[in-house]
Structure 1
């Protein structure tokens, strides 16, 4: 599919799954998608949709999985994503402008997958990263992070799952 992503999708307020990946959309994410308060799964990988993540997405408190990679996203990763505490998988990669810290993930201890590759992340690796006991995939490559990765990530329990 091509063209701009229709804003009327935001009227489908009972929608729980939205996949727009692998299309050739253009333009920005419609702010109306923030009306999808029951949305659990958002896949917009390789969709062509870009721009900043709208502030209305703060309403998406039921998100479980969000994939936004290979899209022309700009701006910082919004802090409100840290309020999506049900999130188990977050992939946001290849952001073209703006910079973010990892502060927004502080309460997201249910994450099993965190991929923020080439997302203009700056600052320190959170000191509590070892408390993310469910984490199976961690990709913070191609960013500007400082600090140390805690040895808790390399515990015997974690290695037995490999």
Structure 2
């Protein structure tokens, strides 16, 4: 029987490595291991990396344009279109033309997509709980604030480059 992946057992960077690593090296390692760990968890709900973020961005009952979704995800519209093709095959989202502008493609969650979105949230919450338990309480908020600041900085720089 397959065992659920454990965050504690999957640490890819040692404490010594982390102390010697710079900010970019640490962020790259965290990004890589988080994505790999999340990939293993997403198998449980039959999703691939990135599909969870896309489903999370869709608000039940509210259509959104592909271009707006791409902007929210900080990827190209063509990337979102490919992701949507796979989610449409699974009947998790519907794609349609905008009623007032046929050139704009809109997407919306199906009932199955809403359920999958809930599964994504539960999976993320499980990972959040495990991560939180591994960190001292006093370190959590300052770390989260620093990560949000870095994310905002990198997102802004990326938008200017695209």
**TM-score of the two chains, using structure 1 as the length reference:** 0.22
Quick check: which has more Rg, 1 or 2? 2
Bigger strand share: 1
Greater helix fraction, Structure 1 or Structure 2? 2
**TM-score, normalising length: structure 2:** 0.22
